[in-house]
């Protein structure tokens, strides 16, 4: 399907652009459902539509806090969170890193190597720790909070609370604990704004201000967009939704390196909002770009440009539908984020889903919690059975004489429309990413399959809903490894490595319970780079039929 055909399909769909825009700006839940009970549920989460207008009134407090933190001698800020509570910070940290504020770091991984990397990258005596969780009960931020609070107590003693900031919704256990301990500040979010739509609340704007971004002008520009009832976002949303119903449901992002965080943020927003009831739009962030012949007919492209040579062009001449956004300033970034929120809401309406719930996320959490209880009781990891093992690799869920043969057979069953998805509970590093990107490119080029990649447990709070609730088109490769070091989580009776494995096992169980195709590949070493190189070398991908 080319661009002209795609536009014609949208025009013929019967969806009225202005009517869609009017209903969303009016917070009318009837756009998504005619069921009164569902409408009540949806209405409770439509605060995002005008959240920027309310947050604009908080700018003096937010900016004042950021200036006070810098004056107090803080040089770094670490955001501890998952999903919507951290992905916006990750995006801001990389998009405009030299904005004159504190250096922003993000921890959204229970993998021991990641926890230790973040801790060792900062001087805790000059670091502000922000723990962010809307519910205040999400297990990862709770573990991070206790670990870093204990580390601060060792480093600065009774001054530890003055290094801590909580961002949470009113009435949460986190709010109560922060006030009891005397944290430096507690910022309260809005319960009527879901996590993935929270970038224009304190969850996004406080870290942005600390990083030195001009939050006042960002919010002014976004508020101007809303007050003018701009329809650009809705055009993209109808485009996404109508094309997804026609089988063009993989949105491939092409971005400059420093704007990859935009794609990761959009990945959660779109996938978690639309991936349910067997349908969905799947954003593909950070997939290596290839030649036109590498792509199947299920693709559309979203190009993010910044006017520089670093912008990645869409592979041409790709005969695929395309959307383009230009970001060359924090203010432009703000507008694009708002357009994407509006687009996601509109796409959900076209697909007939409630974009503001996540019905399939809890199952993986429940299994992980059960496994964690076993760990706490026994003091060790649960036994995991593998079908095939060698000296460095093990696999379950596929057949073959070797691990490489088993993984190759699993992937080679893919058909056009499927997605080969790497879910890596591994320490995040350029080397690990490069090995997985090499395997993604080989699969795409040989089989014309879309490929996805997420570090765990980050993806559980991002694309995890789509994996279990969206179309059953995934080939899921869950990767785990041994840990070189494994710090304990204070007060939890477990280590980060044990929590990580409980989460991986939990997601494998939830995927299988939902009838998904999944293999578990375990690297029997902490030398992740060597093991991934061996796995990549052993992978033999057949040519597309």
pLDDT for the residue 5:
85
Helix runs in 413-448, H state only: 430-447
Architecture per CATH, 50-214: 3-Layer(aba) Sandwich (3.40)
pLDDT for residue 100 is more than 60:
yes
Spatial contact of 50 and 63, defined as CB atoms under 8 Å apart: no
Is the pLDDT reported for residue 111 higher than 90? yes
Our CA dihedral for 143, 146, 150, 155, rounded to 10 degrees, sits at: 80
**Cα(470)–Cα(280) distance, rounded to whole angstroms?**
5
The span from the CA of 142 to the CA of 518, in Å, is 29
**Res 366: pLDDT:** 81
| Beta carbons within 8 Å of 100's beta carbon, 6+ residues apart | 212
**What is the pLDDT, as a whole number, of residue 310?**
52
Residue 359 DSSP SS3: coil
pLDDT of residue 314: 67
What's the token pair of residue 198?
């929270």
> Strands 388-389 and 393-396: what pairing?
antiparallel
Q: What is the reported pLDDT for 382?
A: 72
Per-residue model confidence as pLDDT tens digits over 127-152: 999 999 999 999 999 999 999 999 99
| Residue 276 DSSP label | B
Average pLDDT over residues 74-97: 96
pLDDT at 316 > cutoff 80: no
Task: Judge whether residue 543 has pLDDT over 80.
Answer: no
pLDDT at residue 375 is higher than 90: no
543 or 532: which leads in pLDDT: 532
Q: How confident is the model at residue 378 (pLDDT cuts 50, 70, 90)?
A: confident
Give mean pLDDT, residues 416-429. Answer: 98
Q: Please, which residues bridge with residue 478 across strands? A: 423, 520
Q: Stretch 284-305: mean pLDDT, rounded?
A: 92
Domain spans of the chain? 3-32+230-351, 50-214, 362-538
> Is the model's pLDDT at 113 over the cut of 70?
yes
Q: Does domain 3-32+230-351 have CATH number 3.40.50.10490?
A: yes
Q: What percent of the chain has a predicted confidence (pLDDT) above 90?
A: 88
| Percent of the chain clearing pLDDT 70 (strictly above) | 98
Residue 362 has pLDDT above 90, yes or no: no
Confidence of residue 10 (pLDDT cuts 50, 70, 90): confident
198-241 tens-digit pLDDT? 999 999 999 999 999 999 999 999 999 999 999 999 999 999 99
For 336-346, what is the mean pLDDT?
Answer: 98
Structure confidence at residue 416 (pLDDT): 93
Here the tokens at position 183 are 């944290």
Residue 315 clears pLDDT 80, i.e. is over it: no
Supply the pTM of this predicted model.
Answer: 0.96
**Per-residue pLDDT at 363 exceeds 80:** no
What's the confidence (pLDDT) of residue 81? Answer: 97
Q: Rounded to 5 degrees, what angle do the CA atoms 531, 533, 538 make?
A: 95
Do 50-214 and 362-538 fold alike per CATH? yes
Looking at the domain 362-538, which fold is it? Answer: Rossmann fold (3.40.50)
For residue 531 the two structure tokens come to 């093991």
d(CA 354, CA 376): 37
Q: For position 451, what pLDDT does the model report?
A: 98
pLDDT of 367 strictly over 60: yes
Instruction: Write the pLDDT tens digit of every residue in 383-414.
Output: 889 999 999 999 999 999 999 999 999 999 99
CA-CA-CA-CA torsion sign (431, 310, 83, 169): positive
Say if CB 473 and CB 113 are below 8 A apart. no
Residue 295 is predicted with a pLDDT of: 92
Strand ranges, E, within 285-418 = 299-305, 322-326, 388-389, 393-396
**DSSP codes, 49-87:** GGHHHHHHTTHHHHHHHHHHHHHTT--EEEEE--GGGTH
DSSP states of 470-527: S-S-EEEEEEEE--S---EETTTTEEHHHHHHHHHHHHHHHHHHTT-EEEEEEESSS-
How many C-beta atoms lie closer than 10 Å to residue 362's C-beta?
A: 10
Task: Check pLDDT > 60 for residue 311.
Answer: no
d(CA 474, CA 450): 10
Q: What is the mean pLDDT of residues 106-112?
A: 98
- Of the pLDDT bands very low, low, confident and very high (cuts 50, 70, 90), residue 88 is very high
Answer yes or no: are the C-beta atoms of 141 and 133 closer than 8 Å.
yes
What is the residue-averaged pLDDT of the chain?
A: 94
Contacting residues for 537 by C-beta, under 8 A, at least 6 apart: 404
CA dist., res. 441 & res. 342, Å (int): 32
User: What mean pLDDT is predicted for residues 514-530?
Assistant: 98
């Amino acid at each position: 399907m080319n661009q002209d055909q795609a536009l014609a399909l949208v025009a013929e769909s019967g969806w009225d652009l202005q009517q869609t825009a009017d209903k969303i700006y009016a917070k009318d839940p009837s756009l998504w459902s005619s069921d009164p009970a569902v409408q009540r549920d949806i209405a409770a989460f439509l605060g995002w539509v005008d959240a920027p207008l309310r947050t604009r009134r908080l700018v003096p407090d937010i900016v004042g806090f950021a200036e006070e933190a810098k004056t107090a001698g803080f040089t770094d800020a670490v955001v501890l969170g998952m999903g919507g509570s951290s992905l916006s910070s990750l995006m801001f940290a990389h998009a405009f890193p030299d904005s004159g504020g504190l250096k922003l770091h993000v921890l959204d991984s229970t993998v021991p190597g990641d926890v230790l990397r973040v801790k060792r990258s900062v001087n805790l005596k000059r670091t502000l720790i922000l723990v962010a969780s809307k519910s205040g009960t999400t297990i990862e931020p709770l573990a991070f909070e206790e670990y870093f609070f204990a580390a601060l107590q060792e480093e600065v003693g009774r001054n530890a609370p003055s290094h801590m900031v909580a961002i949470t919704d009113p009435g949460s256990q986190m709010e109560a604990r922060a006030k009891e301990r005397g944290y430096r500040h507690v910022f309260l979010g809005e319960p009527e704004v879901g996590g993935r739509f929270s970038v224009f609340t304190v969850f996004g704007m406080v870290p942005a201000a600390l990083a030195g971004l001009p939050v006042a002008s960002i919010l002014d520009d976004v508020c101007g967009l809303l007050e003018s009832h701009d329809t650009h976002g809705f055009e993209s949303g109808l485009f996404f939704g109508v094309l997804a119903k026609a089988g063009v449901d993989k949105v491939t992002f092409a971005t400059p390196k420093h704007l990859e965080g935009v794609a990761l943020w959009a990945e959660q927003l779109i996938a978690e909002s639309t991936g349910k009831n067997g349908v969905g739009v799947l954003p593909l962030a950070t997939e290596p770009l290839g030649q036109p012949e590498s792509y199947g007919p299920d693709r559309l492209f979203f190009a993010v440009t910044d006017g520089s040579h670093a912008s990645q062009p869409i592979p041409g001449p790709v005969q695929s539908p395309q959307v383009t956004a230009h970001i060359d300033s924090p203010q432009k970034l703000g507008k694009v984020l708002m357009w994407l929120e509006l687009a996601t809401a509109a796409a959900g309406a076209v697909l007939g889903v409630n974009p503001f719930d996540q019905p399939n996320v809890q199952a993986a959490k429940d299994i992980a919690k059960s496994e964690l209880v076993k760990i706490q009781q026994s003091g060790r990891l649960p036994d995991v059975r593998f079908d095939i093992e060698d000296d460095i690799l093990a696999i379950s869920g596929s057949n073959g004489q070797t691990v490489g043969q088993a993984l190759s057979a699993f992937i080679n069953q893919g058909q056009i429309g499927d997605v080969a998805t790497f879910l890596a509970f591994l320490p995040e590093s350029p080397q690990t990413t490069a090995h997985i990107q090499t395997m993604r490119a080989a699969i795409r080029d040989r089989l014309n399959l879309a490929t996805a990649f997420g570090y765990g447990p980050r993806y559980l709070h991002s694309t995890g809903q789509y994996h279990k609730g969206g179309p059953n088109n995934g080939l899921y490769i869950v990767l785990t490894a041994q840990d070189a070091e494994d710090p304990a989580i204070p007060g939890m009776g477990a280590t980060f490595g044990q929590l990580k494995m409980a989460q991986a096992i939990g997601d494998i169980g939830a995927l299988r319970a939902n009838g998904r195709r999944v293999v578990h590949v375990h690297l029997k070493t902490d030398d992740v780079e060597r093991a991934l190189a061996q796995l990549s070398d052993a992978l033999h991908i057949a040519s597309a039929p």
